[in-house]
Amino acid sequence: MDSFTARDLEALRAVSLAGARAAQQALRQMTALPVELEVRRVQPVAFADVPAILGGPEAPVVGLHIKVYGDLRANVLLALPLPSALRMVAALFPPGPESIEAMNDLEISGLTELGNVVSCAYLGALSTALHKSLIPSVPAFANDMAGAVVDVLLIEMGMHGDSAMVLQSEIRAGDDLGGHLLLMPDPSSLPGILAALRESPAP
Amino acid sequence: MGEYAVRRAPARMAIFGLGSCVAVFTWEPGMKIGALAHVLLPAPLPDQPRGPAGKYADTAIAAILGGTLEIGGRRERMVAKVVGGAHMFGPSPTPDRETLGERNLRAVLEGLRREGIELAGMDIGGSYGRTLVADTSSGIVRITSLKREPKEI
């Protein structure tokens, strides 16, 4: 992480932009909602500061966790505040459930599928930009406090250090739709990413 | 995450949004000293950077024990309470494969046993997040969750 220069982070931001664009398109197509995905942070973040990115350690969120396999290993987390998650489920299966707890299997499956499509789009764009394979797992679903939802991802990375390289995009559609898409590469994959960024000019 | 602290009463110590990590709280009732660590992993790997003491079960327990004794606490009076180690994502864990949360819990409980610190309460496992607030005056730990009624241990 320390070997990433400002220029490398800029190049990584450009790659992240391509990912965000693709994810935005996928999300709009699936939900017909006017969502925007904006790249926010592309930098190392201390583990203790990651929950704040998601709205704070106690913020209730729906979390979709995708493990990434292939040339690069990573974790992707789509974290949606509950009203956003409900709105997206309602867009997929109108009129939608009363609450997240009241979601039936079909609705949970739909939301999981949304996480799958959005992360596939994002990872596909990254894969093209970095010339590396990035293969997503089926998303796993959780609904709880943001700190509790993200900490297992940080534990895995904790074997190699105390901070994570975070590529963060914020999901927005006016005032009432929010959320975050985080991509956190496995520390062992960072040298591969660095090499790929330096090999080819930024898209 | 990975931090620890030692406080005399009156003080409240808290960890918010605990998932698979494990919180270890020790209390020395004579001097009213509380110590809290936020553990991520059982132990450091030999060839990896060490990181903060609170991060690993073994170094965290040593740090909170040492910190308590340093300010006049007595080891034989100390009790411990353990919270967390949940499994947040996906289907229920299977018996043949330990989750990260379970692995952390095992390391913490073994560490406490090794140091001879009595276990006075636990709120562990499950598939829900927890916030805990520990009161160094009473040694009581209050646990709140989005999915469950508040609980005290």
A98 in a structural domain: no
A1 in a structural domain: no
Half-sphere exposure of B46 (CA within 13 A, CB side): 0
What local confidence, expressed as pLDDT, does residue B107 receive? 97
Confidence band (pLDDT; 50, 70, 90) for A173?
Answer: confident
Distance CA A79, CA A149 (A): 9
Tens digits of residue pLDDT in B107-151: 999 999 999 999 999 999 999 999 999 999 999 999 999 999 999
- Domain B4-152 belongs to what topology? 60s Ribosomal Protein L30; Chain: A; (3.30.1330)
B69, exposed or middle or buried, with CB in 10 Å at 0-12, 13-18, 19+? middle
pTM, to two decimals: 0.93
Give the three-class secondary structure for A53: helix
A95 in a structural domain: no
Q: What is the dihedral of CA B97, B91, B83, B65, to 10 degrees?
A: 30
Give the three-class secondary structure for A68: strand
Give the three-class secondary structure for A47: helix
Tens digits of residue pLDDT in B17-45: 999 999 999 999 999 999 999 999 998 88
CB-based contact, B59 to chain A, within 8 Å: no
A92 in a structural domain: no
CB count within 10 Å of CB B51 equals 19
Residues of B within 8 A of A161 (CB-CB) are: 49, 51
What local confidence, expressed as pLDDT, does residue A202 receive? 53
Question: Which two structure tokens, joined as six digits, stand for A46?
Answer: 């201390």
Looking at chain B, which residue has its C-alpha nearest residue A100?
B147
Residue of B122, B21, B41 lying closest to A57 (CA atoms): B21
A39 in a structural domain: yes
Question: Which two structure tokens, joined as six digits, stand for A190?
Answer: 């960072």
Looking at chain B, which residue has its C-alpha nearest residue A150?
B19
A193 in a structural domain: yes
Pair A194, A72: CB distance under 8 Å: no
Query: Residue A13 is part of a domain; what is its CATH number?
Result: 3.40.1550.10
Predicted-complex ipTM score: 0.92
What's the residue count for chain A? 203
Interacting residues of A78 by C-beta distance below 8 A, sequence separation 6+: A63, A64, A66, A115, A118, A119, A139, A179, A180, A181, A182
CB-based contact, A60 to chain B, within 8 Å: yes
CB-based contact, A187 to chain B, within 8 Å: no
Domain assignment of residue A133, given as a range: 6-86+112-198
Total number of domains constituting chain A: 1
Report the Cα A46 to chain-centroid distance in Å.
17
A30 in a structural domain: yes
